[in-house]
Amino acid sequence: MAVGKRNAAKLLVPDMIVENHEGVPILLVEVKATKADSRTTNQVTNYMRYFQTLLLREADLPALYAMIVDPERIQVFVWDGNN
């Protein structure tokens, strides 16, 4: 398992990226100290679009999931390529 530090200077980097055994990202996680809102959802959608473009070269692209964690709830999303 690879562990790295978050770099605030980089754009489109979620708080955590979970990879499968081949090193392909399968889950993007965004953690918020306060209640998540529509800006958070938009942020995660942008992550998903960005990672989808990175993974287009993968012939057997696995499902890409996202998780938003805030003090009140945990939401899990499946990316269908558009939404």
- For 17-48, the pLDDT digits (tens) are 898 888 888 899 999 999 999 999 898 888 88
Tally the domains of the chain.
1
Residue at 1 is within a domain? no
**Which pLDDT does position 77 carry in this prediction?**
92
pTM: 0.75
Residue at 22 is within a domain? yes
**Which pLDDT does position 53 carry in this prediction?**
77
Residue at 57 is within a domain? yes
Contact (Cβ atoms closer than 8 angstroms) between residue 18 and residue 31: no
Residue at 40 is within a domain? yes
Q: What number of other Cβ atoms are within 10 A of residue 81's Cβ?
A: 9
Higher pLDDT, 79 or 8: 79
28 beta partners: 17, 66
Rg of the chain over CA atoms, in angstroms?
13
Q: Is the dihedral of CA 81, 26, 23, 3 positive or negative?
A: positive
